[in-house]
Amino acid sequence: MRNPKERAGVFSRLTFCWINSILQIGNKRVLDTSDLYPLLDEDKSRDLTDKLEQSWADEIRGSRLKGRTPHLTRALMSILSWSEYALILFSLFIGVACNILEPLLLGLLLTALLNTTRAGPIEDPMVYVYSGGLCASSLLRVLVLNQFNSKAQLMGMRWRSAVTGLVYKKVLRLNQKEVAQASTDHVNTLITHDTQRMYDVVLKSGLILQGTLELLAVSVLLWQLIGFQSLTGILFITMLIGYYVGMWDVCLKLRSRIKFWAERRMSVISGVVENLRYVKMNSWEWLYRDKAGKYRKKEMQAIQQKSAILSSFATFLYTATTVAVFISLTTVAVTGEPLTLYNIFMTIALMRTIRLSSSSLFASGIKYMGEFSAAASRIQTFLQIDEYDSLKPNKRSLTVTAFVSLNNVTCHWGRTNQETALQNLNMRANAKELTLINGPGGSGKSTLLLAVLGELPVTEGSILTEGRMVYVPQKPCIFSDSLRENIVFGRPFNPFRYQAVLNACNLQKVIEKLPDGDLTLIGSQGVPLTEDQRVRVGLARAAFADAEIYLLDDPLSGVDTKIAEQVFDKCICGLMSKRLRIMVSRHLQYVERADQILTMRSGTIIHEVTSPMMGYKSVKLHSVGDDRNVKSGRGNSKSVEFPDSEEAEIPSVVDRPVENDSLPCPVQGKTYWKYFSAAMWDPLIVLCALLFFLFQVILIAPDVWLLYISHTEYNLMTSEDTWYVYASLVAGPFLLVILRATVFVSTALRSSNKMFNTVMEAVLKGPANMFTKNPEKATEILDSFSKDVSAMDEILPGVFLDALQGACFTITAILLPALLNQCLLLFAVPLVVLFVLFWGYYLRTARQVRKLEVASRIPLSNHFAEMLRGLAVIRSHDMVDEFTDDVYQDSHCQTSCTAVILEAWVALRIDLLCVVYLAAVVFGAHLMNVGPAFTGISLVYAIQMACELSIYGVKRCFDVENYMTSVQRLLDHSKIESEPGYDNRTQPHEPWPSAGHVVCDNVSLTYEKDGLRALKDLTFSVSAGEKIGIVGRNGSGKSSVIHALFRMPEIEGKILIDDVDIKGMNLQRSRQGISVITKDPVIFCGNVRCNVDPFSKRTDKEVWEALDKVHLKPWVETLPKQLYQDLAECSAAFSTGEKQLVALARALVYNTKILVLDEATSVVDYKTDRLVQEIIRSKFKNSTIITVPHRLSTIIDYDRVMVLDNGRIVEFDKPETLLKKSDGYFAHLYGSQCPT
């Protein structure tokens, strides 16, 4: 399909008729990207990026020769022809000329009308000449300014596309040292924020030029036609522009404050959403609601200040010219110059000509220019940093045998080499060998692999390699494509190799569960995979590549133990056995299979062995008990993990993302009503709406008074009373408009805050497993709390106010001439009907294009994020060229172009309707001979409507609907079903629990309505202070017993704690009676004290004592602020074991009587495990302990062990008694794990 613009004629291009077919399709059915026109050659991102790349290279060379700083702007200017810039400027100049010409023609028309007799018909032919010229000038202005707006936006889009492509290509050439220095957030800002400034700058610079030219022209004309006295009004406008510019700077500072507090608020909300079950188990809902509310309050204070400034901008938009006219005419009257009808209406007409161009839009253009300059500076700095290509390690080609050799290698992080990464490191790995590298966190293991890859520059020494290398990172890189393509990764498909890889990586059963098998889309846009499935896909990708050298960065740390052993045997020691493998791992069970074992610390090798038998013992001696982010392996003791079912690690089938084939629904009226009713009583909404329109009617009072005094005698015209009345008619509406803006914005902000609180409470009261069942729901919630709340707070109030004020003005501009000449109603009614039809016809398609535009932006953003995360993987697989091609995704440009042209299409037609109405006003006035005064005021309003309706009003209306979708999403989230029990006010007699006696009576648990029962009629009793272990195979109901104690969800039957039925009391209070430690403990934002004593019920001394008992006091004492150290700054330094100890300290400080451990030590090393178990036995000896163990050795000395199978108790007795039953469940479990 060809783009119809290529063969469109002059008329079709001027009126944008060539896009009609898309509008027709969009009004008949759902639009698809295939319905959009292909991009023109000049709009394609590949060509634009190539041109900018060449232009930027020329700019750098030229700048070096001339000794100047290279500028991105110069390079951007050269990618388009000068004829394109000339055409845009010509359109702008013609539009400005027409804007100035219209009040001049109005003045000539009024002069001609004043020379005619009022009673007789108008015979002067010049009246009709001026009238025709006025209409022709408006028509020409409409045509050229719409061309300027569309071309400026398209040019900005080309600049954005070229810069985005250039930044993408630069990212693909960065080494890991520069990536770490630049930071992902910084590069994301370049792509999402700074490149958008390229799009805005062309149109905004046009606003500055237009405003400047019109302001100068109006100043000259007022001086020439009325006198220098009239320039006092221009002086006021100039001062107002200074106010706008100054206040924009204040707004930017306030925006920084808003962003700061919003980030703090989001850090709290993110922690809650990501750990909702943990929060609810600890009854911290209101604690974190209040903490988020504290940041929200500070955020809202800054938003209110910013909104007050922006509401003043909206006030001046509709009152500034009235005040300027008052100042000019008052000055003229005071100096003794006569005020004529001509003087009055020329002043009004000329001042209203610059109403938009001299408003906050002009100042916003200046602001955007500053932002563009800063963005261009950041981008050009990024484009000049070092690249990857020049930093590859030395390679030899003298032999075909693969090897890796490092000789006295020293590497540094940071551009100034301030941080040593590797120091004087020597090693050699040969073909067919498995080299295992271990050591504590931060010892340089991963850094060594990056250096071998060439991703980290070598400061001293040399790295020699032979053979093609493939890299597997610890955090797997999954790209948005089918599972097969993620494994094949651009290589020729070999079905035999492919099947062998699937078997070696245990992916067959995963594929069977996927809706489309291995053709199922995975990644950020597809079916979500579990962490260990993602790891296995990454390993499968490496295995399929069949490289000579494999660099494996602890890939099995996130994989289930049994699956990890199988993958290690079949893949790493199977398919890859003939290859050179360097593997980072801290799991001792792999040591026996290694040919060479290296132990690292502080960036150097401290121990090296080549005998596996010696290595096993040596590694145990040299390894440091550091469990940071490590999932422990088996080891050689009886403390082994439960055998996991093969089926357990495969997730249930997840519905694939489906396209919404229905037409995008407009925001419903009830959404608007709920938005305002959140802040005020319903009848007040109606009253405020009526007053809002009434105030607009009052705004025309000064012009009506001027019309009156222009017919009075000179003595009356110059009297003080006349001007006092005029001054009060200017000041009164001015104050009313301020009141209107203030009331509206404050109401909108109250609504916003109320809705935020409602959604926050709905999420906190929601089911604990709602994000477990649907992980995408968590992303949606966080997106709403971030983007939707921001749009509702900062953008919607101003946009909504502008749209309502624009609508009020449009109604006034239509009704005022019609009231002065009732015949105009015959034209006004059909024109309004046509306006509604055009708007509805456009809107049905525009909504769909907007949806496609957003959808096309998401894959591009995700592609960039995936690319940035997987740079080392992409380069090790030689996929740079393929990913460079993926950068040239024109779908977003395609939808953006379509949106721009559709907006121009509707704007032109609405403008033409305004021109028709203007013609009706002027010629209707002549036919009815209403007189020059009525003709003048009617034309002033009609001209102003023709200038502003499409450019400002219509766009604002579309923006309102766009941002109201944020309100709609928040309203949807506020409907999350609450857990029962929050509203129950029943509290137990304190202290409760005092002993810790637990009784379960006929307890059953079902997670889903009408679903299978996870627990079936459980009845048992736990005495106060008793230690109980709960064991069983996966799916037997172990964790469900824990969930039942915490009423997640509500149970059937009874659970009594110290003879109190927990179902009969407040939900949070019942959970507060039990302390829990899970396998994934959480450190929330806040200081150490707040994490140990979240409710601030204990003294500092008691907190220190609790920390001392869990052996954390020495570590906390090393922190700069000790108990009051903000953990947001050092939470990454917490190991998993240390987080467990913090949770234990929390239980100690509250003297808990019931402690529940749900696989609490499954992800810590043995040293930390022993410490945790020692603390539990010594410090909680008087507490009831209920443990779901990860290692059987932790419960072998408990009082009793409960064995579950299929949700029922099959054994419950002392562990030694159960072990004596040779055919018993527990004996079988223990024997299968610990045969010795």
Cα–Cα distance for residue pair 1068/1066, rounded to 1 Å:
6
Residue at 65 is within a domain = no
> Are residues 280 and 429 both part of a single domain?
no
Weakest-pLDDT range from 15-19, 409-413, 934-938: 934-938
Supply the pLDDT for residue 647.
34
> Are residues 1056 and 1118 both part of a single domain?
no
pLDDT higher than threshold 60 for residue 615: no
pLDDT higher than threshold 90 for residue 565: no
CA distances from 980 to 341, 629, 680, 984, 1049 (A): 74, 36, 29, 8, 9
Supply the pLDDT for residue 652.
36
Q: CATH no. for residue 527?
A: 3.40.50.300
Residue 254's closest CA among 199, 299, 316? 299
For 1155, residues 6+ apart whose C-beta sits below 8 A from its C-beta are: 1074, 1075, 1076, 1077, 1147, 1176, 1180, 1183, 1184, 1185, 1186
> Are residues 721 and 857 both part of a single domain?
yes
Of 1085 and 739, the one with more pLDDT = 739
In 231-252, which positions are buried (b, 16+ CB within 10 angstroms) versus exposed (e)?
bbbbebbeebbebbbebbeebe
Of 952 and 742, the one with more pLDDT = 742
Supply the pLDDT for residue 626.
42
- How many other C-beta atoms are found inside a 10 Å radius of the C-beta of residue 98? 21
Supply the pLDDT for residue 630.
35
> Are residues 176 and 102 both part of a single domain?
yes
Residue at 10 is within a domain = no
Residue at 4 is within a domain = no
pLDDT higher than threshold 50 for residue 1223: yes
Cα–Cα distance for residue pair 512/653, rounded to 1 Å:
9
Supply the pLDDT for residue 632.
33
> Are residues 141 and 102 both part of a single domain?
yes
> Are residues 871 and 765 both part of a single domain?
yes
Give the dihedral of Cα atoms 901, 906, 908, 911; nearest 10 deg.
Answer: -150
Is residue 1209 helix, strand or coil? strand
Residue 889's closest CA among 45, 226, 6, 286? 45
Residue at 1039 is within a domain = yes
pLDDT higher than threshold 80 for residue 885: no
Supply the pLDDT for residue 617.
45
pLDDT higher than threshold 90 for residue 17: yes
Supply the pLDDT for residue 945.
80
Which residue reads 């209403």 in tokens?
930
The total domain count for the chain is 4
- What global pTM score does this model have? 0.78
Cα–Cα distance for residue pair 293/295, rounded to 1 Å:
5
- How many other C-beta atoms are found inside a 10 Å radius of the C-beta of residue 530? 15
Weakest-pLDDT range from 128-132, 200-204, 631-635: 631-635
Task: Give one DSSP letter per residue of 1151-1173, joined into a string.
Answer: T-SEEEEESTTTTS-HHHHHHHH
Burial of 1039 by CB count in 10 Å (0-12 exposed, 13-18 middle, 19+ buried)?
middle
Cα–Cα distance for residue pair 101/107, rounded to 1 Å:
10
Is residue 1059 helix, strand or coil? coil
Residue at 58 is within a domain = no
Say if CB 1171 and CB 619 are below 8 A apart: no
Q: Alpha helices, DSSP H only, in 665-719? A: 669-677, 682-698, 701-709, 714-717
pLDDT higher than threshold 90 for residue 144: yes
> Are residues 1189 and 1113 both part of a single domain?
no
Weakest-pLDDT range from 120-134, 141-155, 203-217, 321-335: 120-134
Supply the pLDDT for residue 390.
40
Chain centroid to Cα 655, Å, comes to: 24
Decide the pairing of beta strands 1052-1057 and 998-1006.
Answer: antiparallel
Give the domain range for residue 1091.
Answer: 1086-1133
pLDDT higher than threshold 60 for residue 573: yes
**Can you tell me the mean pLDDT for 114-134?**
75
pLDDT higher than threshold 80 for residue 1191: no
pLDDT in tens, 617-654: 444 444 444 443 333 333 333 333 333 333 333 333 33
- Among candidate residues 575, 593, 610, the one where a domain is terminated: 610
**Can you tell me the mean pLDDT for 142-161?**
92
DSSP code at position 388: S
- How many other C-beta atoms are found inside a 10 Å radius of the C-beta of residue 985? 8
pLDDT higher than threshold 50 for residue 294: yes
> Are residues 1127 and 1151 both part of a single domain?
no
Cα–Cα distance for residue pair 222/343, rounded to 1 Å:
9
Decide the pairing of beta strands 596-601 and 434-438.
Answer: parallel
**Can you tell me the mean pLDDT for 1016-1021?**
90
> Are residues 315 and 431 both part of a single domain?
no
What percent of the chain has pLDDT above 90?
16
Say if CB 281 and CB 1044 are below 8 A apart: no
> Are residues 361 and 476 both part of a single domain?
no
- How many other C-beta atoms are found inside a 10 Å radius of the C-beta of residue 68? 10
Q: CATH no. for residue 144?
A: 1.20.1560.10
Say if CB 409 and CB 451 are below 8 A apart: yes
CA distances from 1201 to 343, 880, 1193, 1196, 1225 (A): 99, 56, 12, 8, 11
**Can you tell me the mean pLDDT for 1177-1197?**
82
For residue 598, what are the β-bridge partners?
A: 437, 608
- Among candidate residues 974, 1006, 1033, the one where a domain is terminated: 974
DSSP code at position 520: S
Residue at 926 is within a domain = yes
Structural element, H or E, at residue 1054: strand 1052-1057
CA distances from 127 to 112, 505, 563, 922, 1157 (A): 6, 88, 91, 10, 93
**Can you tell me the mean pLDDT for 162-186?**
75
Is residue 462 helix, strand or coil? strand
For 1121, residues 6+ apart whose C-beta sits below 8 A from its C-beta are: 1087
For 327, residues 6+ apart whose C-beta sits below 8 A from its C-beta are: 232, 233, 236
User: With bands split at pLDDT 50, 70 and 90, how would you rate the model's confidence at 655?
Assistant: very low
Supply the pLDDT for residue 441.
65
> Are residues 128 and 266 both part of a single domain?
yes
For 277, residues 6+ apart whose C-beta sits below 8 A from its C-beta are: 768, 769, 772, 1048
- How many other C-beta atoms are found inside a 10 Å radius of the C-beta of residue 1035? 16
**Can you tell me the mean pLDDT for 1133-1150?**
75
pLDDT higher than threshold 50 for residue 270: yes
Residue at 888 is within a domain = yes
Is residue 421 helix, strand or coil? strand
pLDDT in tens, 493-515: 999 999 999 999 988 888 888 88
Supply the pLDDT for residue 714.
55
Weakest-pLDDT range from 294-298, 672-676, 1162-1166: 1162-1166
User: With bands split at pLDDT 50, 70 and 90, how would you rate the model's confidence at 1232?
Assistant: low
For 443, residues 6+ apart whose C-beta sits below 8 A from its C-beta are: 600, 601, 602, 603
> Are residues 359 and 480 both part of a single domain?
no
What percent of the chain has pLDDT above 70?
87
User: With bands split at pLDDT 50, 70 and 90, how would you rate the model's confidence at 12?
Assistant: very high
Q: For the chain, what is the radius of gyration of the CA atoms? A: 37
Supply the pLDDT for residue 435.
92
Q: Which tokens sit at 474?
A: 């610890």
- Whole-number mean pLDDT of the chain? 82
Residue at 632 is within a domain = no
Q: Between helices 195-225 and 82-114, what is the axis angle to 10°? A: 30
For 197: left if phi > 0, alpha if psi spans -120 to 50, otherwise beta; the answer is: alpha
Supply the pLDDT for residue 1168.
67
Of 624 and 878, the one with more pLDDT = 878
- Among candidate residues 610, 627, 652, the one where a domain is terminated: 610
Supply the pLDDT for residue 24.
93
Cα–Cα distance for residue pair 155/164, rounded to 1 Å:
14
Residue 934's closest CA among 74, 341, 194, 437? 341
pLDDT in tens, 1169-1185: 777 778 888 878 888 88
Supply the pLDDT for residue 264.
86
Cα–Cα distance for residue pair 1085/479, rounded to 1 Å:
31
pLDDT higher than threshold 60 for residue 900: yes
Say if CB 1061 and CB 981 are below 8 A apart: no
Supply the pLDDT for residue 388.
58
**Can you tell me the mean pLDDT for 724-743?**
87
Supply the pLDDT for residue 628.
38
**Can you tell me the mean pLDDT for 902-920?**
90
